[in-house]
């Protein structure tokens, strides 16, 4: 028998000695290494197996809570004296089961002290949890992509919408541009206490939790702040965890952001149905007008859509219509109750404001896609907008395109296409029609890019594929008039006028001061006229008016091909469109686009000044002006030179088309033929607008090599390009 002291007893126990039997003593150490014992057997009871399975989870939970415990350590130290004072009372609240002094089922019922202790403990733990959760929650830095992305809207020159681009139909509107009636219609419908609440609704969250947990229905009860947080920071998943995160972010956001900013963000990111986000795009989709033009009745209907556009869009079903009318009336009555709408004003709105049956959002069409493409490229370059920023959207792009001129040009080409198809369907399959109208100040007024951008992205108005042919000769004429000619080496340039005489015969050899010009194959280079006609000695003015080519090939040599090219570039042709600097340059071996040809001819209509063509007049982003560099006109040739070229082109028009315009009409025009018959042009001006039309054939499925026209574009005397030109420029007088 041995005696052993027990650990100190509790304060209310008496000290005692207990006799310990030998069998209860721990084994003595022998000083030898213990023999490894067999591993403990796996637990067989369900409770044991559950404990083993839960061990890793509990360990992970402990690691997760360790940082929180570390943060709370200083607070725990401060509270420890108070906790020790409460220990005796807590000990009394400690449940003892079965309760002493009770019988039957009453032995298992906690005392009132225990109930009170449990109640306040729950409140304290819940409060501590919420404080920790609030402190640990950060407002996300990255917004949802659909909440920030907008579409870009393109407008005609008269300010009416032309097209929109982008995956999301949304346009931000500053709160100051949203009428107060519209704002309060939304607030009355969704959150009347918005300006006074803390960002969350406790009762609403409670109802949402009850429905989620109790019946599986995940309806909200959210404030506008909570809905805004859900729109821009979180997913749309209806879960308790998402709801809790939403509440924490809403509380923090309400303390950091003004109520007006939150409301503005909410109105610009909410879903209104018909593929639209935001009140501005919804206003256009349902009423075909900007939000600033809405009345309070229309605003009340749009506010009803926030409860679920699929249930309240009247165009979807009769049941939807009935729901929409009921909620619309309720919202207006609610505004009266809130003092935001007078009873007299409410009485004016007895009839439901029926929205449009179809959305008036502006999608790009078959031809306007070409316009959008041109405007988009120019906007990015001139305003310095990166592809990334442009794709985020929000831009309002006001183009220079004239709706009436675009319609006239498109109809003229469509008519020519139909005629070509009736004449020879096989040839018409490979026919292409490029055209553009440009004002003298550089504004692109209209273009024809192709039959349908969705099937042919190739823009025929901007293509540099076929040669300019004899339509280039006005630039040779202008270069000679501007810089003079040299017929002998090392002599000063001699000025010339339109009366200067040149040989107009067909197949005239081109000469240099040293003699005939030989090509690389050892053949003399000769100029050819259309139809192999000869005209004898002819003035340069008459040669341009009668489309006699041979004088201009020689004039180009006398002026200098580098000078001719520089003059053409100053007038608007791009250096990249020029080919080899050989005598054929004077007869149009360059390949300008229809846009560039129209722009260059406009130089003569603008007294010798040239302005680079542009397609965008101004840009805003969500109402704020974007800096846009507009091209400035510059002197290309002297005024007298431009007037002489213009006079010769006017005679060319009247010679080829007598009676097409009145004698006082300011009209010029020039046919453009190519030696290999791969393109036919007509370029001319009416007053200050210049239009270029080209017809050519290319089988895009095989190559970009031009094919012979084979009569598809008519003849110089009966030209398809002229028919298109006159149709687009009508009236000519």
What count of other Cβ atoms lies within 10 Å of the Cβ of residue 67? Answer: 10
The pLDDT, as a whole number, for residue 629 is 86
Q: How far apart are CA 713 and CA 430, in angstroms?
A: 12
Q: Using alpha carbons only, what angle is made at residue 333 by residues 330 and 335, rounded to the nearest 5 degrees?
A: 110
Q: How far apart are CA 557 and CA 485, in angstroms?
A: 9
Residue 37 has pLDDT above 50, yes or no: no
375: tokens are 């405007």
DSSP 40-101: PPPP-SHHHHHHHHHHHHHHHHHHHHHHHHHHHHHHHHHHHHHHHHHHHHHHHHS--SSPTT
DSSP state of 214: I
Residue 669: strand pairing partners: 684
More confident residue, 512 or 35: 512
With b for 16 or more beta-carbon neighbours within 10 A and e for fewer, the 262-292 pattern comes to bbbbbbbbbbbbbebbbbbbbbbbbbeeebe
The pLDDT, as a whole number, for residue 398 is 96
Q: How confident is the model at residue 460 (pLDDT cuts 50, 70, 90)?
A: very high
Residue 681: strand pairing partners: 672, 694
Lowest-confidence region among 167-176, 379-388, 499-508: 167-176
The 10s digit of each residue's pLDDT in 89-101 is 666 655 565 667 6
CB half-sphere exposure, 656, CA atoms < 13 A: 28
What count of other Cβ atoms lies within 10 Å of the Cβ of residue 204? Answer: 18
395: tokens are 């831009």
CA 337, distance to chain mean position in Å, is 41
Q: How confident is the model at residue 684 (pLDDT cuts 50, 70, 90)?
A: very high
Q: How confident is the model at residue 119 (pLDDT cuts 50, 70, 90)?
A: confident
Residue 275's alpha-carbon distances to 151, 278, 360, in angstroms, are: 12, 10, 12
The pLDDT, as a whole number, for residue 30 is 45
Q: Which residue has the tokens 């009428």?
A: 179
Report for 275-279, 440-444, 716-720: range of highest mean pLDDT: 440-444
462: tokens are 């901007």
Q: Using alpha carbons only, what angle is made at residue 571 by residues 462 and 377, rounded to the nearest 5 degrees?
A: 35
Give the length of the chain. Answer: 733
Longest Cα separation, the chain:
150
Q: How far apart are CA 673 and CA 132, in angstroms?
A: 82
Residue 206's alpha-carbon distances to 118, 199, 219, 365, 726, in angstroms, are: 21, 15, 11, 50, 73
Interval 427-447 mean pLDDT: 95
The pLDDT, as a whole number, for residue 704 is 83
The 10s digit of each residue's pLDDT in 628-645 is 988 999 999 999 999 999
Q: Which helix (H) or strand (E) holds 164?
A: strand 161-165
Q: How far apart are CA 616 and CA 374, in angstroms?
A: 9
Q: How confident is the model at residue 41 (pLDDT cuts 50, 70, 90)?
A: low
Lowest-confidence region among 187-201, 312-326, 561-575, 687-701: 187-201
The 10s digit of each residue's pLDDT in 503-550 is 999 999 999 888 888 888 888 889 889 888 999 999 999 999 999 999
649: tokens are 């082109």
Q: How confident is the model at residue 57 (pLDDT cuts 50, 70, 90)?
A: low
Strand 169-170 relative to strand 689-697, pairing: unpaired
Mean pLDDT rounded to a whole number for the chain:
82
Tell me: cis bond preceding 98? Omega within 30 of 0 counts: yes
Q: How confident is the model at residue 448 (pLDDT cuts 50, 70, 90)?
A: very high
The 10s digit of each residue's pLDDT in 560-602 is 999 999 999 999 999 999 988 999 999 999 999 999 999 999 9
Residue 495 has pLDDT above 90, yes or no: yes
More confident residue, 572 or 32: 572
The pLDDT, as a whole number, for residue 81 is 82
Residue 162 has pLDDT above 70, yes or no: yes
Q: How far apart are CA 548 and CA 539, in angstroms?
A: 10
Alpha helices in 194-239 (DSSP H): 202-210, 224-232
661: tokens are 């315009």
The 10s digit of each residue's pLDDT in 654-674 is 999 998 898 889 999 999 999
Q: How far apart are CA 595 and CA 583, in angstroms?
A: 25
Q: Is 153 exposed, middle or buried (0-12, 13-18, 19+ CB in 10 A)?
A: buried
Q: How confident is the model at residue 139 (pLDDT cuts 50, 70, 90)?
A: low
Residue 127 has pLDDT above 70, yes or no: no
Q: Is 100 exposed, middle or buried (0-12, 13-18, 19+ CB in 10 A)?
A: exposed
Q: How far apart are CA 102 and CA 110, in angstroms?
A: 11
DSSP state of 344: H
More confident residue, 190 or 391: 190
Interval 481-491 mean pLDDT: 90
Q: How far apart are CA 601 and CA 599, in angstroms?
A: 6
**Best CA proximity match to 592, nearest among 581, 605, 576, 580:** 576
The pLDDT, as a whole number, for residue 199 is 61
Tell me if 626 sits within 8 A of 619, measured CB to CB: yes
Q: How far apart are CA 171 and CA 150, in angstroms?
A: 6
More confident residue, 497 or 131: 497
Lowest-confidence region among 1-10, 221-230, 361-370, 484-493: 1-10
Q: How far apart are CA 9 and CA 453, in angstroms?
A: 94
Residue 626: strand pairing partners: 619
Residue 73 has pLDDT above 60, yes or no: yes
Give 97's contacts (C-beta < 8 A, 6+ positions apart): 107, 108
DSSP 403-435: HHHHHHHHHHHHHHHHHHHHH-HHHHHTEEEEE
End-to-end CA distance of the chain: 136
Q: Which helix (H) or strand (E) holds 503?
A: strand 501-503
Q: How far apart are CA 551 and CA 600, in angstroms?
A: 21
The pLDDT, as a whole number, for residue 206 is 58
239: tokens are 């879960």
């Amino acid at each position: 028998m041995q005696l052993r002291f027990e650990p100190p007893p509790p304060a209310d126990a008496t000290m005692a000695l207990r006799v310990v039997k030998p069998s209860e003593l721990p084994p003595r150490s022998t000083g030898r290494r213990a023999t490894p014992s067999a591993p403990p057997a796996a637990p067989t009871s369900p409770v044991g197996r559950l404990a083993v399975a839960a061990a890793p989870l509990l360990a992970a939970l402990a690691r997760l809570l360790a940082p929180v415990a570390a943060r709370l350590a200083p607070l725990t130290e401060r509270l420890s004296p108070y906790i020790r004072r409460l220990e005796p009372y807590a000990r009394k609240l400690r449940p003892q089961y079965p309760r002493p002094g009770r019988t039957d089922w009453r032995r298992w019922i906690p005392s009132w002290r225990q109930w009170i202790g449990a109640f306040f403990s729950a409140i304290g733990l819940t409060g501590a949890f919420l404080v920790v959760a609030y402190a640990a929650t950060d407002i996300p830095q990255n917004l949802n992509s659909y909440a920030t992305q907008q579409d870009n809207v393109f407008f005609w020159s008269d300010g009416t919408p032309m097209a929109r681009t982008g995956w999301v139909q949304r346009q931000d509107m500053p709160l100051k541009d949203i009428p107060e009636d519209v704002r309060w219609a939304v607030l009355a419908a969704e959150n009347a206490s918005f300006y006074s609440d803390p960002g969350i609704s406790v009762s609403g969250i409670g109802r949402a939790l009850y429905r989620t947990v109790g019946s599986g229905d995940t309806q909200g009860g959210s404030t506008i702040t909570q809905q805004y947080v859900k729109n821009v920071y979180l997913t749309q998943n209806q879960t308790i965890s998402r709801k809790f995160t939403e509440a924490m972010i809403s509380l923090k956001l309400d303390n950091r952001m003004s109520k007006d900013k939150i409301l503005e963000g909410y109105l610009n990111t909410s879903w209104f149905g018909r593929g639209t986000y935001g009140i501005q795009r919804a206003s256009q989709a349902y009423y075909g007008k900007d939000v600033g033009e809405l009345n309070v009745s229309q605003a009340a209907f749009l506010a009803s859509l926030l409860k679920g556009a699929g249930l309240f869009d009247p165009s979807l079903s009769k049941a939807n219509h009935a729901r929409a009318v009921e909620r619309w009336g309720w919202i207006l009555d609610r505004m009266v109750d809130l003092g935001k709408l007078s009873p007299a004003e409410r009485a004016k709105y007895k009839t439901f404001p029926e929205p449009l049956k179809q959305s008036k959002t502006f999608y790009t069409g078959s031809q306007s896609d070409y316009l959008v493409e041109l405007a988009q490229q120019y906007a990015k370059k001139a305003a310095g907008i990166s592809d990334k920023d442009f794709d985020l959207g929000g831009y309002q792009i006001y183009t220079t395109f004239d709706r009436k001129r675009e319609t006239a040009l498109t109809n003229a080409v469509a008519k020519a296409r139909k005629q070509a198809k009736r004449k020879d369907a096989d040839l018409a399959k490979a026919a292409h029609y490029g055209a553009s109208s440009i004002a003298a100040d550089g504004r692109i007024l209209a273009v024809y890019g192709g039959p349908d951008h969705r099937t042919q992205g190739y823009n025929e108005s901007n293509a540099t594929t076929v040669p300019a042919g004899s339509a280039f000769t006005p630039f040779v004429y202008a270069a000679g008039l501007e810089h003079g000619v040299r017929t002998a080496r090392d002599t000063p340039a001699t000025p010339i006028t339109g009366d200067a005489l040149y040989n107009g015969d067909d197949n005239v050899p081109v000469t240099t001061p040293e003699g005939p010009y030989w090509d690389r194959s050892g053949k003399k280079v000769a100029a050819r006229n259309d139809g192999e006609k000869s005209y004898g000695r002819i003035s340069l003015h008459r040669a341009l008016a009668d489309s006699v080519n041979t004088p201009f090939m020689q004039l180009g040599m006398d002026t200098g091909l580098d000078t001719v090219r520089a003059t053409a570039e100053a007038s608007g042709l791009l250096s990249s469109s020029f080919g080899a600097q050989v005598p054929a340059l004077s007869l149009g071996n360059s390949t300008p686009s229809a846009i560039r040809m129209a722009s260059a001819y406009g130089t003569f209509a603008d007294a010798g000044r040239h302005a680079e063509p542009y397609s965008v007049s101004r840009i805003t982003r969500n109402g704020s002006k974007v800096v846009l560099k507009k091209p400035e006109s510059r002197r290309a040739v002297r005024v007298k030179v431009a007037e002489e070229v213009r006079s010769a082109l006017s005679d060319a028009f009247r010679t080829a088309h007598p009676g097409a315009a009145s004698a006082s009409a300011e009209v010029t025009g020039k046919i453009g033929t190519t030696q290999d018959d791969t393109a036919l042009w007509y370029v001319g001006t009416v007053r200050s607008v210049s239009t270029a039309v080209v017809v050519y054939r290319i089988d895009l499925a095989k190559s970009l090599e031009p094919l012979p026209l084979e009569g598809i574009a008519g003849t110089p005397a009966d030209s398809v390009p002229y028919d298109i030109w006159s149709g687009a420029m009508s009236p000519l007088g």
